[in-house]
């Protein structure tokens, strides 16, 4: 005779487990389908202008900004950058697209080669420098729990 608890353990092991990815919506970490497509459109235009390689990977996740709020970030290894994707919204004047890619490059891109300092104290009064622990936290969140977006520059010219 098999004990009841052994049967329960076997049955539990046979049931499918729901992962975090399955619990998320199809467009996670974006807020909605419309947000996903809008930001992806702007991201493609951005990569067309500033990407240096044919294939570009952007790991997108909502991560703690450091003040307790979360923000949409993208870790872009080929561009040696963290992008503040929360600002990647298309802009229009009437029917004419007016997205300012140079503003996005200047204001939303953190260059990991030049804009990272060792500690918070090293930031001083800078409005663009970030500290290394913040950088590590954002990159880890993007790679471990984010969505991988691949943009091939050759197919969008």
Residue 155: per-residue pLDDT: 67
Contact between 54 and 157 (Cβ < 8 Å): no
Per-block average pLDDT, block size 10, for the chain (157 residues)? 45 41 74 95 96 96 90 97 96 89 95 97 93 97 96 74
Model's pTM, two decimal places? 0.81
Residue 154: per-residue pLDDT: 78
- Cα 114 from Cα 80, distance rounded (Å): 10
Strand partners for 73 = 61, 84
pLDDT tens profile 49-71: 999 999 999 999 999 988 888 99
| DSSP, residue by residue, 109-156 | EEETTTSEESSGGGGTT-SS-EEHHHHHHHHHHHHHHSEEEEEEGGGG
Residue 16: per-residue pLDDT: 40
């Amino acid at each position: 005779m098999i004990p009841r608890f052994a049967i329960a353990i076997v049955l539990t092991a046979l049931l499918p487990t729901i992962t975090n990815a399955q619990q998320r919506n199809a467009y996670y970490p974006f807020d909605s389908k419309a947000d996903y497509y809008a930001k992806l459109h702007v991201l493609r235009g951005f990569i067309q202008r500033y990407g240096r390689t044919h294939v570009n990977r952007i790991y997108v996740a909502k991560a703690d900004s450091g003040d307790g709020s979360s923000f949409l970030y993208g870790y872009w290894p080929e561009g040696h950058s963290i992008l503040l994707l929360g600002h990647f919204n298309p802009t229009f004047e009437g029917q004419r697209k007016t997205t300012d890619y140079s503003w996005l490059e200047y204001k939303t891109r953190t260059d990991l080669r030049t804009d990272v300092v060792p500690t918070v104290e090293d930031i001083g009064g800078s409005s663009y420098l970030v500290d290394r622990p913040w950088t590590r936290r954002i990159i880890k969140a993007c790679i471990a729990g984010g969505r991988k977006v691949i943009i091939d520059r050759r197919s969008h010219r």
